[in-house]
Structure formats: structure tokens, C-alpha cells
Amino acid sequence: MKKYHTYQAGRKERMPKVNPTDEAHRKANDRAARVKLYRYIVTNFKRDDIRIDLTYADPEPTPEEAEKRRAAFVRRLKYRYQKLGKELKAIWVTEKEGHRIHHHLIVNNVGLSRDKLQECWPWATFNYRSVRFYDGSPEDALRLSDYLLKETSESVKEGKIKRRWGMTRNLEKPHVTKKKIYARSWKEMPKPKEGFQIVKLENGVTLEGFPYQFVRQFAIENFTIGKKKPKGKKARRKKVRRNGR
């Protein structure tokens, strides 16, 4: 959840505005990219879907050839999914700065074996880290989005790539709700929603000089929303009835 003042905030005074540097813009863009990718992962993938790392044996291909091979892998995977009457969902990132070119993907799991996945990638042999299960929790989605984009920001900065990540066209678009609240301020230490815990809280100022607050909340496991434990005499009476006294 993010709270911020709109340009129609009226008389709300801005904080002292500073001229944003290129580095500040870059960090803001990196943060927005991670949030967007995180939302797509949470919306479209679940526990036990598959993370795949694609590497290359010698000789290493050019970036252009590597992109062609990555596209070929996705096409071959789509064909095998179609034979099973399924539809492939995938997100991918290509990394090439400071080390050998490789690709990271997350795909929906339809029961294809590791050997069937290997058949789609003839340019290197899978190792023990090539195919792994996605945990499916919001925390894992957050870690995965950070991991996938950890190196693309430098490539974007240098103008070597325009898109940080790619995806199949059938992914469901995350639903983001915007609600206008008429208030001049908010609590710097908000309370979590019932059944949730706050895992990240950030109060800051936008590049335009307006204050904002970012709150990330995760659901507490095994918590039933809407059900409260009885207290006092009610709890004691309920316990007595259960014991048959």
C-alpha cells in the first residue's frame, strides 16, 4: 500500500524541493520496476511453479544470438504445454553484464519432467540449480523480483537494454486499487490490518517534494480473518460447555 498526495492536494504544503539527480531518477525507476514485477509474479504464479536458469556451454553466443535461443526455448516449451492441453505462462530476464550470458525464467508447472525441459534447451546441460520450485509466498515473490532485476538496472542505465524483463502475453494484469482519501496527513506508524503484519514501512518525499508512505503487509499464517477468540466470561462458559460440566 502506498499513500501519497496528488497534484490536486490543494493547499498542502510541499517539503523543500531539491533538484532530483539522475541517480535519484534511476533509483525511483528501479523501485517501480521491482514493484511491477512483484505484482505480476504474485498474480500469476503459485507454490511449486518452476524457476529455470538457462546457461551456455562454450562458445558463448552474442547477445543477439542468445535472445534468439531464449525465444526458441519459450516456443518449444509452449508446444509441449499445448500437447498437454495447457497454456504456458512465463516471465524471463536476461543477464549479461560482468559475466557469461544467462537467462532466468519462472513458468507455471504442468508436470513436465526435468528431462523434457532439458530437451527444449540443447545449448547446455542442466545442473542441480537449473530447475527449482518457486515457494509461492509473498516473501519469495519479493526475493525473486529483486533477484531477477539485480543486474538489469545497470544495463538500462547504460542504454544497452530498454526492457528489464519479458513475459508471455497471457499473463493476468495485476489489479491495483486506488482510493482517494481526504486527509491532510497520516500516521507515521500505522497499525497493520487484522490478520496481517507489517514487514516494510517507508516514509519519504517524492521527487516533486510531496510526502509519501509505503507499507507492505503480509498475511499471518493460519490466521482466520473475521474470527476473534472469546474473552473473559464468554471464554470460560464456552470451555465449560465443551467439557460437558
Q: What is the CATH number of the domain that holds 160?
A: 3.30.70.1910
What pLDDT shows up at residue 60?
Answer: 93
Instruction: State whether the Cα torsion 220-226-232-238 is positive or negative.
Output: negative
Tell me whether residue 119 is in a domain.
yes
List, in sequence order, every beta strand (DSSP E) within 74-136: 90-95, 102-107, 131-133
Q: Is the pTM higher than 0.85?
A: no
**Residue in 74, 41, 48, 44 with CA at minimum distance from that of residue 131:** 48
Tell me whether residue 122 is in a domain.
yes
The single residue listed with the C-alpha cell 497520516 is: 186
- The domain containing residue 42 runs over which residues? 2-219
Give pLDDT tens digits along the chain (245 positions).
555 555 555 444 555 555 555 677 777 788 888 889 999 999 999 999 999 999 999 999 998 999 999 999 999 999 999 999 999 999 999 988 778 899 999 999 999 999 999 999 999 999 999 999 999 988 899 899 988 888 776 665 555 566 789 999 999 998 766 666 656 666 777 777 777 777 767 676 666 666 766 676 667 763 444 444 455 554 455 444 444 44
> Distance between CA 28 and CA 150 in Å, rounded?
14
The counts of H helices and E strands in the chain are 6, 8
Q: How many domains does the chain have?
A: 1
Tell me whether residue 95 is in a domain.
yes
